Amino acid sequence: MFRYAIVVSVQPARFEAATFKGDLEANLAEIAALGYDGVELAIRDPRQVDDEALVQMVDKYGLAVPAIGTGQAWGEEGLSFTDPDPDVRRAAVERVKQHVPLAARWDAVIIIGLLRGVVRPGVSHEQAMSWLIAALKECATAAATAGVRLALEPINRYETSLINTVEEGLTLIEAVGADNLGLLLDTFHMNIEEPSIEGSIRKAGKRIFHFHVADSNRWYPGAGHLDFASILSALAATGYQGFVSGEFLPRPDASTAAREAIRFLRRLPLPHN
């Protein structure tokens, strides 16, 4: 039923929950050997990536690429859709468009996480939302020409002041009005923000384009107190056909976390698991 992936950073990154960093080929070999079906690739700047070499390397290990993460352009360079500087906003939009060709090759969703930015001092929430809507419209239109989908991730209040909940995400999607814009749900953020994780999954329904799993403490699933049998049953009941992607802290180390996660997830009492 579910296929499982895990986050791997292609370029150096400070983001802690990108589980694997460093030697990409060694990481891909290890992930494939652990029994994962795919890798979610975090790419800061696609212009610095050799597309052919990357596609071949991932292919060599028989892995799918269900999603491309873009948040490092925020984490490392400060790009965002809602910066008061129009040049920074433009650069953020262009950066998302630059991900489209590679996303199209893998049929991967492009993740819009922290690249949306935060409400900066001196900027009203209304102004930030209007920049965000305009940026998403432009990115969704560009992606649609290549049949690519975008997945906006509600992120907890300690990381952003824009779109913390599924409900806010769905309202934003309606305002943008693009069929190829959906949500990425992340159990770590949902545990902080949603009144009911399962209820919000049901509410998001067919708009769920991608799914991140981490436990309540952002360790691998099984290391905290989230009820993954219940959460993933709710996800399955929406008809979700995509990947469940592990985005958790590399603790006690990346290899142990990845091994424990896939063992735990594959043993859950889910239909056809």
Q: Extract the tokens encoding 114.
A: 């922290």
Residue 115 CA to residue 219 CA, distance in Å, equals 23
215 binds Mn ion (CB under 5 A): no
Q: Write out the DSSP string of 10-76.
A: SS----TT--B-S-HHHHHHHHHHHT-SEEEEE-S-GGGS-HHHHHHHHHHTT-B--EEE-THHHHT
Closest distance between Mn ion and the C-beta of residue 124, in Å?
27
16 binds ligand LER (CB under 6 A): no
193 binds Mn ion (CB under 5 A): no
Q: Please indicate whether residue 76 is annotated as part of the active site.
A: no
Which residue's Cβ lies closest to Mn ion? 186
Q: Which of 172, 158, 89 is nearest to 123 (CA)?
A: 89
212 binds Mn ion (CB under 5 A): yes
Four-point Cα dihedral 221, 253, 71, 156, nearest 10: 40
Cβ count near 181 (within 10 Å) = 24
Task: For ligand LER, give the closer residue by CB, 30 or 153.
Answer: 153
Distances (CA, A) of 222 to 21, 143, 162, 218, 260: 22, 36, 29, 10, 8
186 binds Mn ion (CB under 5 A): yes
Q: Of residues 30, 37, 83, 186, which one binds ligand LER by CB under 6 A? A: 186
Determine phi and psi for 123, rounding to 5 degrees. Answer: -110, 135
Catalytic residue among 153, 174, 194, 260: 153
253 binds ligand LER (CB under 6 A): no
Task: For Mn ion, give the closer residue by CB, 30 or 247.
Answer: 247
Residues 45-104 that bind ligand LER (CB under 6 A): 71
Closest distance between Mn ion and the C-beta of residue 58, in Å?
20
Closest distance between Mn ion and the C-beta of residue 69, in Å?
8
- Give me the residues that bind Mn ion (CB under 5 A), please: 186, 212, 247
Residues engaged in binding ligand LER (CB under 6 A) = 15, 71, 113-114, 153, 155, 159, 186, 212, 247
Residues classed as catalytic: 153, 247
